[in-house]
Structure 1
Amino acid sequence: MRVRRRIHAVLLTALLLGAGGIVSGAAQANPAPQSEYVFTTFTYDSESDLHIYRSSDALNFEAPAGPAYTPSDSLLRDPSIIRHRDGRYYVVHTTGWDTTNFAIAVSNDLQSWQHLTTVSVPVAGIHNTWAPEFFVDPVNGSVNVIVSLGAEYRSSFRPYLFTALDSSLRRWGPPAALPGIEPNYIDTFVTYHQGEYHAFAKNETDKRIEHAVAPRLGGPYEFVQTGDFAGWGRAEGPAITELPDGRYRIYMDAYTSDRFLYSDSADLYEWTAPRELPGGLSGFVRHGTVLRLN
């Protein structure tokens, strides 16, 4: 009996150790996945080149050598990126200081880019078309561009909404002004949170980024935080991405002090004190967007 018990004990121990080894091996073979972020921007050195940076934490970004794309016949400012349902990447960008269109470029791998289309702005009296921002509506899946149109020479901007008519992103519906965000607002960036659409836009009078909310993407929007409500100071080009823990990170171009800042929030209302983006990017990169890939 003692011999049998000892044999049983040895066998049980071996089984437990083996199972533990299998579990341990599985844990080592399947580590927790890291997030991946892509930052598209232009720089103080050039208004014609697309620069792409990558990061695993939405904070420390690295870039390959040289720009990723240079349009043949336009500027490239304020690039905004999405990954579309077809798996490809699309960037929409400003084409010039005094133009009435915006352009879209496409890539399969973030490395090789080509021009896809130029979208004309059929709005009478418009002199400037700046800061187009992609927004994929999580409610209905529509692909949209929110762009700042200037009715006077480089002034009197207000946001207009364009919606893609098909998945090619070559055909776009007529623009519609976003009610509640009146003229004198530029660089409007929209994100969706808990059933509401949150717009962050620069007030051109005092050069502060302000916060408006709407029940629908097309508005009407109501400003809920104005002035220097978050202590960001004078800044433009707000862009927001979501962090793995559910918080949000906003990036902004503090252009009057040649700095690039970020700030975090759990609810889009209360924000941490702004800090400079590390890695030598602050003072080098300008208005852009950060896309979370996973």
Structure 2
Amino acid sequence: MKKVVIGLLFFCFCLKLNAQEAEKSIYLFSYFKNNGQDGLHLAYSKDGLKWDALKNDQSFLKPTVSKDKLMRDPCIIRGGDGNFHMVWTVSWTDKTIGYAWSKDLVNWSEQVAIPVMAHEEGARNCWAPEITYDAAKKQYLIYWATTITGKFPETFSEKDNGYNHRMYYTLTKDFKKFSKTKLLYNPGFNVIDATILKDGKRFIMFAKDETREPAQKNLKVAYSKKLKGPYSNASEPITGKYWAEGPTVIKKNDTWIVYFDKYTLHQYGAISSKDLKNWDDISAQISLPKGIRHGSILTITEAELNKLK
């Protein structure tokens, strides 16, 4: 009888281990290559350091919306409904962003162009949109960078083709009806590539200071008690003496890891911190697919990864 009980306990223990293994989170990186003309690329990692491309680094989804038909800066999140929701940059000059959803990251809905800045005559672009889900309010914040001609003259520069971005947002519960577009963040400088994460009772924004004169081109951090702000003044730069853009962030145990594109060096970089103040460069520890560009990271299950494989 004792042997039977021990055997049953061991069997239950194995079942529990298998269940835990099945639910173990996998990191999934959504990104684009070249100009984004061939669409969505995906890579996975079990440790957040070594990343392997899926599907031989071929596109999972080809872009169909806008005159330029690009899929740059793809941002995917798992929504409150359990589905995956993605937004992306459709063009260098359009006033719209792309949107599609999926249950399994393999089969995608029809692609839609959301005219987030169509009402602004002077809007020149809609770049690097992202989504953050507000579980408390059961709604999504979609945000992106836009230059509106004539706005914020105090930071205007003829450099970088006169672009002078600020972060804007819209709210939605169903990706069919959207709130009126509003200003999300004006830190007093040209800002792009924001990504926002919830940390306890606060929200953390990582963004790029795009200032050209004198050149900043680095990443900074801001905080807010509410998802849609107001956000604090930006921190001192958290990246080094190179030009960085396109941050995407994970929190692994008690360590923050920020991945970003060292775009003038044609390399990917990463920094880590436990307190969001003191940062270590861990770029030498990461390995990513060749040619990877700006994207985002989410977590999926082993079963979802197997379907992607």
- TM-score interval, smaller chain: 0.7 to 0.9
Q: Indicate the residue corresponding to 2:148 in structure 1.
A: 151
CA distance change for structure 1 residues 224 and 46 in 2, over 3 Å: closer, same or farther? closer
Q: Indicate the residue corresponding to 1:288 in structure 2.
A: 295
Residues 1:49 and 2:44 aligned together? no
CA distance change for structure 1 residues 179 and 95 in 2, over 3 Å: closer, same or farther? closer
Per the TM alignment, residue 87 of structure 1 is displaced from its structure 2 partner at its CA by 2.7
Conserved 8 A contact 1:231-1:274: no
Which of 82, 91, 98 is 1:87 aligned to? 82
CA distance change for structure 1 residues 151 and 46 in 2, over 3 Å: closer, same or farther? same
CA distance change for structure 1 residues 138 and 249 in 2, over 3 Å: closer, same or farther? farther
CA RMSD, 1 decimal? 2.2
CA distance change for structure 1 residues 197 and 286 in 2, over 3 Å: closer, same or farther? same
In the alignment, the residues of structure 2 paired with residue 101 and residue 154 of structure 1 have an alpha-carbon distance, to the nearest angstrom, of 20
CA distance change for structure 1 residues 247 and 105 in 2, over 3 Å: closer, same or farther? same
Q: Indicate the residue corresponding to 2:201 in structure 1.
A: 195
Structure 1: stretches of 5+ with no match in the other structure = 1-13
Amino acid at match of 2:50: N
Deviations 1:142-163 (A, max 9, x none): 2111110112466111101111
Conserved 8 A contact 1:235-1:255: yes
Conserved 8 A contact 2:169-2:182: yes
Conserved 8 A contact 1:161-1:176: yes
Q: Indicate the residue corresponding to 1:28 in structure 2.
A: 14
Q: Indicate the residue corresponding to 2:181 in structure 1.
A: 175
Which of 223, 227, 248 is 1:239 aligned to? 248
CA distance change for structure 1 residues 95 and 207 in 2, over 3 Å: closer, same or farther? same
Conserved 8 A contact 2:194-2:208: yes
* Higher RCO structure (Cα 8 Å, ≥6 apart): 2
Name which of structure 1's ranges 208-217 and 36-45 shifts more when overlaid on structure 2.
36-45
CA distance change for structure 1 residues 280 and 238 in 2, over 3 Å: closer, same or farther? closer
| Aligned pairs, number | 275
Q: Indicate the residue corresponding to 1:211 in structure 2.
A: 221
CA distance change for structure 1 residues 135 and 253 in 2, over 3 Å: closer, same or farther? same
Q: Indicate the residue corresponding to 1:70 in structure 2.
A: 62
CA distance change for structure 1 residues 114 and 30 in 2, over 3 Å: closer, same or farther? same
Structure 2: stretches of 5+ with no match in the other structure = 150-160, 302-309
CA distance change for structure 1 residues 58 and 159 in 2, over 3 Å: closer, same or farther? same
Q: Indicate the residue corresponding to 1:271 in structure 2.
A: 279
CA distance change for structure 1 residues 52 and 204 in 2, over 3 Å: closer, same or farther? same
Q: Indicate the residue corresponding to 1:37 in structure 2.
A: 27
4+ residue segments displaced more than 6 Å: none
Conserved 8 A contact 2:87-2:97: yes
TM-score (norm 2): 0.81
More strand by share: 1
Name which of structure 1's ranges 253-262 and 48-57 shifts more when overlaid on structure 2.
48-57
Q: Indicate the residue corresponding to 2:120 in structure 1.
A: 123
CA distance change for structure 1 residues 264 and 180 in 2, over 3 Å: closer, same or farther? same
Residues 1:257 and 2:249 aligned together? no
What SS does structure 2 have at the residue aligned with 1:24?
helix
Conserved 8 A contact 2:128-2:193: yes
Conserved 8 A contact 1:48-1:77: no
In the alignment, the residues of structure 1 paired with residue 33 and residue 279 of structure 2 have an alpha-carbon distance, to the nearest angstrom, of 26
Q: Indicate the residue corresponding to 2:305 in structure 1.
A: none
Conserved 8 A contact 1:158-1:182: no
Q: Percent identity?
A: 25
